[in-house]
Each structure stands twice: as C-alpha cells, then as structure tokens.
Copies of this chain bind each other. A is one copy, B any other.
C-alpha cells in the first residue's frame, strides 16, 4: 500500500487486524499523529510533521482528516475507541453489577499495551494543551456521559459518574504512568476487588 492509494472522503473505522500489506495508510497516519502530538505537544505538532512520520505527502493527511484540530480529533477517537463502548458495557446488565463491569472493562483496556498506549498518548496531549483538552472533553461528554448518566438513579448523576471515572483514571495514572509501587505491580484482580465497590458507590448510592 502506498501514499498514492486513493483516499476515501469518509473513511470507515480502520480494521483492527493488519492486512498482509501492513497497516493501511489511514492507520499509519493516525499512529504518526499520536506520536507527533505526544512528543511535540498539540501546539507544536504539524500536519507536515505527521506526514513525515507516516512517510506520506502532507496533502494526503489533510485530504483524509482535514486541519490539525480534526486530525487530533480523529486520533483521539481512534485511541478512545474502547472507552466509547463504556456505555454499552455498563448498561449490559443489572445496575448493581455496573461498578464491577466498568472497573473490569477499564483494566481490560489498560492491561493491554496495544489499547493502553494510544490512550495514554492522547491523555498526555490533553493534559498539556487547552485545545486538546477541549476536544477530549467534548468527546467524553458527548459519547459517554450523556449516554450513561440518564440511566443512573438519584441526583447529580453526571457528577457521580465523573467521580467514578476519577477513581479509575487516577488509578491508571499512578499505576501506568507514574508507576508508583506497590500499585504498579499489584494484582489486577485485587485492584478490581478493591475498586469495584467504590465505583458502584458513586454510580448508585446518592448520599449528600
């Protein structure tokens, strides 16, 4: 597959398995974009830099994804693909098991370097740049919060869903990025056992 491959106007989701020819041009550009955003920061990242990393013409990057903000959004959407299934996971059974389902699902995504690294790269970008944070925020709210919160009982459901996520995201940050012990080496099942009740508490127990 080469840079001359005819670009599609509205490309579908990239296939998860590599074809015999290796990753598609679209996937190569998205991977290059994540590296560029992570290493250079959102402000200094450029279409030209992404194109260079992906070994394609800058015009092709623009043709596939549009301007920088949209390249970032696509890279984010792709990296966050697993997170986008959170609503389905949470709502796939009785509410009193939602805390454990969500906790178990998140560790499933994070324990696999293949799904973890793109997500971490995007979180780093969002932490370092206001534009990137705004894009991240909009996606989380639109795709996760607005779908999950209406299913939760009690007042302030959106806030409580965010506090549940805060427990999980904070754990991921300390375990996978800062790598503080003993958390970094703790057994996943023990973590799920300890965290699921807290996540459940936020989701379904509306005190205060």
| A binding-site residues for B, Cβ under 8 Å | 41, 124, 126-128, 133, 136-137, 140-141, 145, 156, 158-160, 162-163, 165-171, 173-174, 177-183, 186, 190-191, 193-195, 197-198, 201-202, 207-208
Contact = CB atoms under 8 A, between A and B. Distances in A.
* A interface majority secondary structure: helix
Which of A140, A179, A194, A195 has the largest number of chain B CB atoms within 10 A? A194
B133 A159 contact: no
Contact of A194 (B41, B127, B141, B163): B163
Contact of A141 (B41, B162, B181): B181
A159 B136 contact: no
A191 B162 CA distance: 11
B182 A162 contact: yes
Contacts of A178: 126-127, 133, 136-137, 140
A137 B179 CA distance: 7
Given A124-B127, A178-B136, A207-B193, A166 B171 contact: yes
Given A166-B167, A171-B170, A198 B201 contact: yes
Contacts of A160: 194
A84 to B, nearest CB: 16
A143 to B, nearest CB: 12
Contacts of A168: 170
